[in-house]
Amino acid sequence: MPGSLTRDAITIALVTGVLVWVLPLIIGTYTLTVLVIYGMLALSLGLIWGFGGILCFGQAAFFGLGAYAYAISAINIGESTLPMFLAVLVPAAFAALLGAMMFYGRLGDVYLGVITLVVTLILFKTVNSTAGPQYAIGNARLGGFNGIPGFPTLNVPGLPDAYIWGDGYFYVCAALLGLVYMLVTALLRSSFGRVAVGIRENETRMSLMGYDVRARKTVMFAIGAAIAGLAGALFANWAEIVTPSLFSLGQSAEIIIWCIVGGLGTRLGPVLGAAGLAYLKFLLGQQALIDNALVTGLVLVLFVLFLPKGIVPALSGLWNFGFVRWRLPGHIHQRRRPRGRERTRNG
């Protein structure tokens, strides 16, 4: 990543500001809010998968945990400031435990996928079966399949009666997404982020260099879960109800699809992928001719087959190629030709 962190921060703030100003002119803020929330959720998986190399099939578990943690604590406390923090901390703590169990056991890629998927299912089945008054945490009844409605939504910190909703809520979500994006950028610029990318590229080499791969992966996993938890709490506020379907496999699948389509190993890709595909789904939901799942599935298959790197890396590759060719037409030829000749001579 060239340039300095300050320059990145200014760029992010400017782009966020312009988008927040322009987009409500095109799409309603109610829809935009959920696109922003999905963008944050996709960014959480994009961070741990694209930069940390951890393929988590159950990112929805943390999303749902965040939403449930918010709803339950908001009912018990009666205002929203502390619940927002709990919604970040609970999934992070859960992910730290789960991650420690998996990474200290040195489990491979496939097993990681299976375990995260199974944990999501356990949460789904457990929460789904908690109908009835005996399942309650404090004043909050878990409600089984029907979920928890009617919890206090976001309010201005310190003023429990000043609810933030409508356009105001959209601005809060957009600002939080910009903030998270900036934090992710800072994280990736720090030595922790560089080592994480190193672990993604070659785990053995990094551990031979003396880095504690297991602890670093666990921390990375927990950070991803914290972001997903925040997105979950924001989603709970937007939907004003939490249901077990937040934990479902379909939700997990969608997060993975957003990341694949947008582009792994980028920060912008997952956000764009999530917003784009969620908007596509919203548009498809308004007609009855073609089923939604059919289109989503087809998009995933086609991307895996033809554009496995995703949209953003493909476009930026194209841009760099065209830009460099236009600027320095001779340079590439001079650099490439000897390399090719060398290879044929040696081979």
Partner 1 sequence: MDLYAVVLVEMLYGVASLVLISAGLAVVFGMIKVINLAHGEFMMMGGYATITAVNLGVNVFVAMLVIAPVAVGLIGLVVERLVIRHLYGRLVDTMLATWGLSLFFIGLVTMVFGNTTTGISTPIPGFAIGDYQVNGYNFFIILVSASLLVVMLSVLKGTRSGLIARGTMQRPDMAAALGYNPDRINMATFFCGSALSGLAGAVLAPLVGLVPTSGGAYIAKAFITVIAGGPSLIAGLLSSASLFGAVNQIFTFAISPVVGEVALLVAAVVLLRVLPKGVTGTFFKGRP
Residues within the interface to partner 1 (CB under 8 A): 55, 101-102, 105-111, 113-115, 117-119, 121-122, 125-126, 128-129, 249-250, 253, 256-257, 260, 290-301, 304-305, 308
Residue number with CB closer to partner 1 (166 or 308)? 308
Residue number with CB closer to partner 1 (197 or 295)? 295
Look at residues 260, 233, 299 and name the one whose alpha carbon lies nearest to residue 65: 233
Minimal distance, residue 307 CB to partner 1, in Å? 12
Minimal distance, residue 293 CB to partner 1, in Å? 4
Look at residues 211, 185, 229, 222 and name the one whose alpha carbon lies nearest to residue 69: 229
Minimal distance, residue 106 CB to partner 1, in Å? 7
Cα separation of 30 and 144, whole Å? 27
Structure-token pair, residue 148:
């928890």
* CA 181 to each of CA 41, 69, 117, 188, 335: distance values in angstroms, whole numbers, following the listed order: 11, 23, 26, 11, 36
* CA 43 to each of CA 36, 143, 228, 274, 319: distance values in angstroms, whole numbers, following the listed order: 10, 30, 8, 9, 23
Residue number with CB closer to partner 1 (64 or 178)? 64
Residue number with CB closer to partner 1 (87 or 127)? 127
What's the Rg (C-alpha) of the chain? 22
Minimal distance, residue 164 CB to partner 1, in Å? 35
Residue number with CB closer to partner 1 (183 or 290)? 290
CB 52 within 8 A of CB 199: yes
Residue number with CB closer to partner 1 (174 or 200)? 200
